[in-house]
Structure 1
Amino acid sequence: MTTLAWILLACLAGGALSLGIAALVAFRVQARWIPTLVSYAVGALLGAVFLDMIPHIFQANPNPGRSAAMILAGILVFFILEKLLLWRHHHHHGEEIEGGHDHGHDNDQGRSGWMIVAGDSFHNFTDGVIIAGAFIADIRLGVITALAILAHEIPQEIGDFLILLHSGFSKKKALLLNVVSSLATVLGALIAYFALAGARNWVPDLLAIAAASMIYVAVADLIPGLHKRAALRETLGQVSFIGLGIATIWIIHEGLG
């Protein structure tokens, strides 16, 4: 297959699989499954970054110091962006409390639900850019990156479904909005493919930023949630599934090698 075909297959198949699993779990409201999926996602993300992405970045870039600096800068940028989003959310939430409600759309849906759809669409768009950059660099790296992104998309999609349902959306509408949101992955991938195909010297920098994004999501967003469940049994389960996520990436790495 061509590189573009691999990119489109990864985006469409990954989106369909993550939505299918997320809908199955969310509609059955098996919230107790989410920490297990999050633990696995942490392992898959960190495994993909440290076993595949970073080694490939340093091999492809004649200036590894620049790549390391890009990863560091990327982590800082994502920290600042999240701070801005949190500030906006708290400011917006304060206004809602003063107004005494969480509505304001013609269909009387909660603002939080629409904010989730917008945020998820942007997130999916950036995932598409990351997937395209990885496939352009190397098909094997693209497959592993797409699988790691899929692993963290599943628990995120479950959370999105639950928020939409809580905001008053019907199950059918929540699923439809998530399908539309997932198409942003394809859009991001197509734009990145045509932008980067003729400028492959940009690929290592893009991969460095992508690695920073995945490290930040795992360490700053996912792991703190796991720390809230500190019982020994739950901790052992978390460590086991983090290890399973890493092992999955390692097996794929060796198998495709």
Structure 2
Amino acid sequence: MALRRSLFLWTVFAAVFFYQVAASVSKKDDVSISELTPVEIEDKLQECDFVQALNKHKLATSPTTSSLSSRVFSVLFPGSPAVNALLATLYISGPPNFLLALCPPNIDPSSLSVMVAFAVGGLLGDTLFHLLPEIFLGEDAPEHVRFVMVEPNKNLLLGVAIMVGFLTFVAMDKGLRIATGGKDVHDHSHGKAEAAEKTSSSVKASGANIKDRSSSSVRSRKGASENGALPPIPEKEINASVKLGGYLNLIADFTHNITDGLALSSSFYASPTIGATTTVAVFFHEIPHEVGDFALLIQSGFSKRAAMGAQFITAIGALLGTVIGITVQELGGSSNSTMTHSPGLFGTSLQWGDMLLPFTAGTFLYVGTVAVMPELLETGPQRGKELKKTLAQFSAMFAGAGIMLAISWS
């Protein structure tokens, strides 16, 4: 009887002991899983037999190849995300500004509509084909399959960041319109054409007055030259509102370049492919943007050399935005970083660095639609001419979007 009782007690003791050990091990596993980053969870998933079979099937059915675009991008961007972002800033700021030396001072901004349409296609293509899929789903890994973990509020926060980027540019544009008395300083066609007409009309009026007084002016200058003095040569008059528009456009250009720098830094930290395609899209957008701003500065009274110098100064904004973006990424972390163990935003796995890319997508949506699209919608009275112009604009837009699609596809 005593032996049975002792055996029963030892059995109960062993059961309680093993139950506590199992509970502690389970609790330890739960803590370790909650502390894993998304990259570490991805690595754990890759150890599963079924996932390894999927990896073999993916490599067998779609072998990795090195496309021409990937080889070019590897040469242009050979370093870390921070180094590549700085190189991209140099690429988008240098050549477009040097091209201004080849532009005639009397260039008509409305003639840039086809180039603007090409840039719109590139921006929207980059946003829809690269940025938005990367934001919500991540980038495909060529060597293995990837899994996307759905979190309750992660996509909501990403959508909020996109909306914040869009509304930030709305507020900036609205503020500049208020400062200019309702005029759009970003308009590269109608508004600048009106400014050119006002400037040319004032020049023609002053020229007519000079022509009417040409004989008397020559006689007076000859008489004054005999006395050792020359009267001042009449200069063309620039409307005060046009001057103000030129200076405000410089401020807007500087701010816009800051967002370009943020876009480049966030895209390279997301993935090399996203960074390269974003660089291409921003580069195509910068060429008509810089030429249009250059024409506005000329019409505002700037000399060609002064206008080029002002555009180089605004290019510093892109470098500033890139440095800010790199700082946020390095200090704010990213959910894709294996070194990130800090709590995420509002209980999600997102870090502050993850919010830059959706913010960029919001700004690109604004620039490609609200800010630039009205220029492409403007039409003249001649239907035949406008139909040809519209066909050229749509062709250029599809070409810009097609380049982004081809880069992503290959």
TM-score interval w.r.t. the shorter chain? 0.7 to 0.9
- Show the counterpart of 1:83: 174
Q: Which amino acid aligns with 2:311?
A: N
- Normalized against structure 2, the TM-score is what? 0.55
Matched, 1:53 2:138: no
Mapped contact 1:144–1:249 kept (Cα < 8 A): yes
Pairwise CA distance, 1:193: 0.3
Mapped contact 1:23–1:158 kept (Cα < 8 A): no
Question: Mean Cα displacement is larger for which, 72-81 or 40-49?
Answer: 72-81
Sort the Cα spacing of 1:132 and 1:156 in 2 relative to 1 into closer, same or farther, 3 A: same
Q: Name the % identity.
A: 27
Stretches of structure 1 lacking an aligned partner (at least 5 in a row): 94-99, 104-108
- Show the counterpart of 1:102: 240
Pairwise CA distance, 1:75: 2.4
Sort the Cα spacing of 1:39 and 1:135 in 2 relative to 1 into closer, same or farther, 3 A: same
- d(CA) in 2 for partners of 1:113, 1:76: 24
Whose helix fraction is larger, Structure 1's or Structure 2's? 1
- d(CA) in 2 for partners of 1:210, 1:226: 23
- d(CA) in 2 for partners of 1:228, 1:92: 16
- Show the counterpart of 2:269: 136
- d(CA) in 1 for partners of 2:162, 2:89: 24
- d(CA) in 2 for partners of 1:221, 1:113: 17
Matched, 1:203 2:341: no
- Show the counterpart of 2:205: none
Pairwise CA distance, 1:153: 1.5
Question: Mean Cα displacement is larger for which, 112-121 or 209-218?
Answer: 112-121
Pairwise CA distance, 1:101: 5.2
Pairwise CA distance, 1:13: 1.4
- Normalized against structure 1, the TM-score is what? 0.86
| Bigger Rg over Cα | 2
Q: 1:115 aligns with which of 209, 232, 248?
A: 248
- Show the counterpart of 1:226: 376
Matched, 1:194 2:327: yes
Matched, 1:251 2:369: no
Q: Which amino acid aligns with 2:240?
A: D
- C-alpha offsets along residues 84-142 of structure 1, whole Å, 9 cap, x if unaligned? 2211211799xxxxxx9518xxxxx9333222222211211121111111111111111
Q: 1:37 aligns with which of 115, 127, 146?
A: 115
Matched, 1:183 2:321: no
Q: Which amino acid aligns with 1:142?
A: G
- d(CA) in 2 for partners of 1:153, 1:18: 7
Mapped contact 1:121–1:184 kept (Cα < 8 A): yes
- d(CA) in 2 for partners of 1:133, 1:25: 32
RMSD, matched Cα: 2.4
Pairwise CA distance, 1:26: 5.0
- C-alpha offsets along residues 206-240 of structure 1, whole Å, 9 cap, x if unaligned? 11111111111111011111110362111111111
- Show the counterpart of 1:11: 89
Matched, 1:241 2:241: no
- d(CA) in 1 for partners of 2:92, 2:104: 18
Matched, 1:66 2:157: yes
- d(CA) in 2 for partners of 1:160, 1:221: 14
The alignment partner of 2:180 has SS state of helix
- d(CA) in 2 for partners of 1:220, 1:170: 31
- d(CA) in 2 for partners of 1:189, 1:125: 7
Sort the Cα spacing of 1:129 and 1:77 in 2 relative to 1 into closer, same or farther, 3 A: closer
Sort the Cα spacing of 1:152 and 1:174 in 2 relative to 1 into closer, same or farther, 3 A: same
- d(CA) in 2 for partners of 1:91, 1:234: 28
Mapped contact 1:22–1:155 kept (Cα < 8 A): no
Aligned pairs, how many? 244
Sort the Cα spacing of 1:173 and 1:81 in 2 relative to 1 into closer, same or farther, 3 A: closer
Pairwise CA distance, 1:74: 3.1
Q: Which amino acid aligns with 1:13?
A: Y
- C-alpha offsets along residues 141-171 of structure 1, whole Å, 9 cap, x if unaligned? 1111121112222111111101111111111
Pairwise CA distance, 1:195: 2.3
Sort the Cα spacing of 1:252 and 1:43 in 2 relative to 1 into closer, same or farther, 3 A: same
- d(CA) in 2 for partners of 1:25, 1:207: 34
- Show the counterpart of 1:158: 291
